[in-house]
Amino acid sequence: MTHRGSRVLHVGSLARVEGEGALHLSVHDGAVTDARLRIYEPPRFFEAFLRGRVYTEPPDITARVCGICPVAYQLSACAAIEDACHVTVDPALRELRRLLYCGEWIESQTLHIYLLHAPDFLGCDGAVELARTARAHVERGLRLKQAGNAVLELLGGRAIHPVNVRLGGFHRTPTRHELKPLAEQLKRAADDAWQTVSWVAGFDFPDAETDADLFALAAPGTYAIETGTPAVLRADGTLSTFPLHAFLDRVHEEHLPHSTALHSTLDGRRHLTGSLARFAISGRWLSRTAVEAARAAGLGDPYEGVACRNPFRSILVRAVEVVYAVDEALRIIDTYEPPRHPHTEVPPVAGTGHGATEAPRGLLYHRYLLDSEGAVADACLVPPTAQNQGAIEDDLRRIAQAAIDEHDASDEELTRLCERAIRNHDPCISCSTHFLDLTIERT
């Protein structure tokens, strides 16, 4: 067939992403005229039914937005409600939260690397097919993922929708003795994480570069995970931060007919959250081992504030983040002293609270308006996928156009390439089921 003239490519249901989405690409006379990641995940209305619930409930309820990153929802909700109630949580409990979050990072990033993303680089349909030719690699991935799940299970009670998180901390905190076997498992995971970096560093990466602004939390002194200030790194290298309470003044969402997810911009520009943004903004605060891993992977020197803007190479950054999360989990366990109380008391206060944390897929923001009894009057959740969708579509346009310009790529090639471009970000599509009500329609 000829590749000139008009053609439309359509992938009805994307594989190896979390949730349900489709891809639509229009090419006219060699120019990509339309690229859409269509999200058809049914709406679930979290922001609507959170109204009228009691302020202690959002951590358990919003966990159900996403089975892949429930801790991110639980801890963003806790941060926002504790902010509304003017409560500062005991530092030892904050460390324990970070340990729980490290478990989620290890589990979720490893899932992305081994089960969703690596098969693209190795030309197979999935990890089970990959295991036929590279069983040892897949087994290593499953073992590493299991170590992350072990952290979640011990601290949270279970890996999916943990039950032990509450406002102010935990229902029950572990003893030093209970954490011991976990440390043993994590020490083995440290080897697996390092080998994962070496493995993915050998993959063949297509050329691509995003010019979106990179957006992540910053917490100077540490690699931001469960807390921090929103920071923006523009393509020209300028870095700025803004207070979390200004989040909704800066990040605007727009509702487009082709998707149940909202499209958002940051100060009117496209932005990207997630591993690439975190690495660019907080790379200098990685542990020594993780910095070495980044250098060995060819990502450059994080101490020099290096940024990686090739979305295909996000798998490398993710692997470095797993090295860090394992390292950080071991550090927390090593210095752990059981806190005197499993949680800090959080009495209800009327007001508004903001919370944001770094979900594995990117920055996750929550805002709650509480009345004096602690009932939720209004809730607003802005997940990473809703923020990234514009940048993902821009990737699609750019990558498809480059392939057409370079060698008049066939429909099959373009489809495969675009699917890969989407899986670079693994949009967590389940997260797209709830949105803001602040967009004003003007006619």
Partner 1 sequence: MSPPTLAVFKLASCDGCQLTLLDCEDELLGLSGQVEIAHFLEASSAVRPGPYDLTLVEGSVTTPADAERVHEIRAASRHLVTIGACATAGGIQALRDFADVEEFSRTVYARPDYIDTLATSTPVSAHVDVDFELRGCPVDRRQLLEVITAYLAGRKPDIPNNSVCFECKRRGTVCVTVAHGTPCLGPVTHAGCGAICPAYGRGCYGCFGPSGSVNLPALIPVLHRDGMDDRDAERFLHTFNTAAFEKELRR
**Which residues between 238 and 257 bind partner 1 (CB under 8 A)?**
254-257
Residue 169 amino acid letter: G
Q: Identify which of 287, 329, 337, 338 has the alpha carbon closest to the alpha carbon of residue 187.
A: 329
Rounded Cα distance, 229 and 216, in Å: 8
Q: Of 136, 202, 441, 443, which one interacts with partner 1 (CB under 8 A)?
A: 441
Which are the contacts of 268, defined by CB distance < 8 A and separation ≥ 6?
Answer: 252
Does position 435 interact with partner 1 (CB under 8 A)? The reply is yes
- Our CB check for partner 1 shows the closer of 107 and 327 to be 107
Site string for partner 1, 201-240 (x = CB under 8 A): ----------------------------------------
Q: Interaction with partner 1 in 43-62: which residues (CB under 8 A)?
A: 43-49, 51, 53-54, 57, 60-61
Report the DSSP beta bridge partners of residue 231: 216, 241
Site string for partner 1, 57-96 (x = CB under 8 A): x--xx--xxxxx-x--------------------------
Q: Of 23, 38, 41, 227, which one interacts with partner 1 (CB under 8 A)?
A: 41
**Token match 């929708």: residue?**
161
Is 78 annotated in a binding site? The answer is: no
Q: Of 58, 342, 362, 390, which one interacts with partner 1 (CB under 8 A)?
A: 342
Rounded Cα distance, 206 and 39, in Å: 26
Q: Are 29 and 21 in contact (CB under 8 A)?
A: no
Q: Of 38, 117, 137, 161, which one interacts with partner 1 (CB under 8 A)?
A: 161
Tokens for 115, please give them: 């089960």
Stretch that binds partner 1, among 89-97, 159-167, 226-234, 394-402 (CB under 8 A): 159-167
Q: Interaction with partner 1 in 347-406: which residues (CB under 8 A)?
A: none
Q: Are 91 and 337 in contact (CB under 8 A)?
A: no
Stretch that binds partner 1, among 88-96, 167-175, 283-291, 364-372 (CB under 8 A): 167-175
φ/ψ of residue 259, rounded to 5: -150, 150
- Our CB check for partner 1 shows the closer of 64 and 250 to be 64
Q: Of 6, 42, 91, 221, which one interacts with partner 1 (CB under 8 A)?
A: 42
Tokens for 41, please give them: 């995940």
| Min separation Cβ 236 and partner 1, Å | 32
Stretch that binds partner 1, among 209-217, 234-242, 320-328, 434-442 (CB under 8 A): 434-442
Q: Is 52 left (phi over 0), alpha (psi -120 to 50) or beta?
A: left
Q: Are 174 and 87 in contact (CB under 8 A)?
A: no
Q: Of 4, 10, 28, 135, which one interacts with partner 1 (CB under 8 A)?
A: 135
| Min separation Cβ 228 and partner 1, Å | 25
Q: Of 89, 111, 315, 391, which one interacts with partner 1 (CB under 8 A)?
A: 111
Is 381 annotated in a binding site? The answer is: yes
Q: What is the total count of residues that contact partner 1 (CB under 8 A)? A: 77
Query: Cα 8–11–16 angle (5° rounding)?
Result: 150
Does position 178 interact with partner 1 (CB under 8 A)? The reply is no
DSSP for 241-267, written as a single string? E--GGGHHHHEEEEE-TT-SSEEEEET
Is 380 annotated in a binding site? The answer is: no
Is 66 annotated in a binding site? The answer is: yes
Q: Identify which of 279, 281, 269, 262 has the alpha carbon closest to the alpha carbon of residue 213.
A: 269
Does position 411 interact with partner 1 (CB under 8 A)? The reply is no
SS3 421: helix
Rounded Cα distance, 395 and 397, in Å: 6
Distance in Å from the first CA to the final CA of the chain:
44
Q: What is the DSSP letter of 217?
A: E
Is 431 annotated in a binding site? The answer is: yes
- Antiparallel, parallel or unpaired: β 251-255 and 165-166: unpaired
- Our CB check for partner 1 shows the closer of 28 and 135 to be 135
| Min separation Cβ 5 and partner 1, Å | 28
Q: Of 94, 166, 250, 331, which one interacts with partner 1 (CB under 8 A)?
A: 166
- Our CB check for partner 1 shows the closer of 166 and 284 to be 166
| Min separation Cβ 199 and partner 1, Å | 18
SS3 108: helix
Q: Of 10, 172, 180, 407, which one interacts with partner 1 (CB under 8 A)?
A: 172
Q: Are 168 and 124 in contact (CB under 8 A)?
A: no
- CA 248 from chain centre, in angstroms, equals 19
Q: Please enumerate, by residue number, every residue annotated as part of a binding site for Ni(2+).
A: 66, 69, 428
Q: Please enumerate, by residue number, every residue annotated as part of a binding site.
A: 47, 66, 69, 381, 428, 431, 434
